[in-house]
Structure 1
Amino acid sequence: MPWRWRPRGADVGGGVPDFPITGDEPIGFLIAIGVFAVIVVLPAIIVATIFVAEWLLLLLLLPIVTVLRVGFGMPWTVVARTRGGVRYSEQVVGWRQSRALIKLTRSDVEEYGEPRALSSVM
């Protein structure tokens, strides 16, 4: 063509053309910020709130469960797993009995290769 085509609204002086990213008006930019907030920020805030609430609930219940186990004789569960996937467990009342069962289980594993003091659960 004998003439050179120039796009309308573009800077033909060699600079970067001025193309709006979100729309022709500032309203488009505000709408983009709102959509970003709804899609990204709001779910992140909801997940963080649920995570923090769950941890606060666990921190609240930890002393209560510990007092119930120690003071009122709720049983502790001693669990051992083998490399083959067999699971052994036994419930014992009290810290001293659980500590003694753990030591007995450890010595059984060292001597026999399996915890004979615990019952197999699979």
Structure 2
Amino acid sequence: MTMNTSFHPIDIQTWSRGQMFHYFSVMAPTSYSMTVELSITNFRNSLKQQNIKFFPAYIWLVTKTLNQQVEFKVGMVDETIGYWDTLTPLYACFHEDDETISLMWTEYNDDFEVFIRVI
């Protein structure tokens, strides 16, 4: 099953977060990051038992989590703010032979089995 994603424009004048968005994106551009220490031992062991590689499972889990929150899917298209139905993971692939990087993407699918078959 292929997921089609659509962009939904937001009217910044009526959007409850419109003034905050304008302030933090135009007047005082800000970004935040967070680092959290967490154990992935059980997750990793479960993947090994099922002979599933860690990176595709990690990419799927992060994308699934982000797709559950509209605010993580907000973006700009042609100067219009809006949100996407679904995010598509983009990640780097390192080539050891020439030490270059290619950007790769995999169409997201809610079904983990379908997603990991194509990654």
- Normalised by the length of structure 1, the TM-score is 0.19
Q: Which has the higher contact order (CA 8 A, sep 6+)?
A: 2
Structure number with the higher strand fraction is 2
Which of these two proteins has the greater Rg computed from alpha carbons?
A: 1
TM-score by length of 2: 0.19
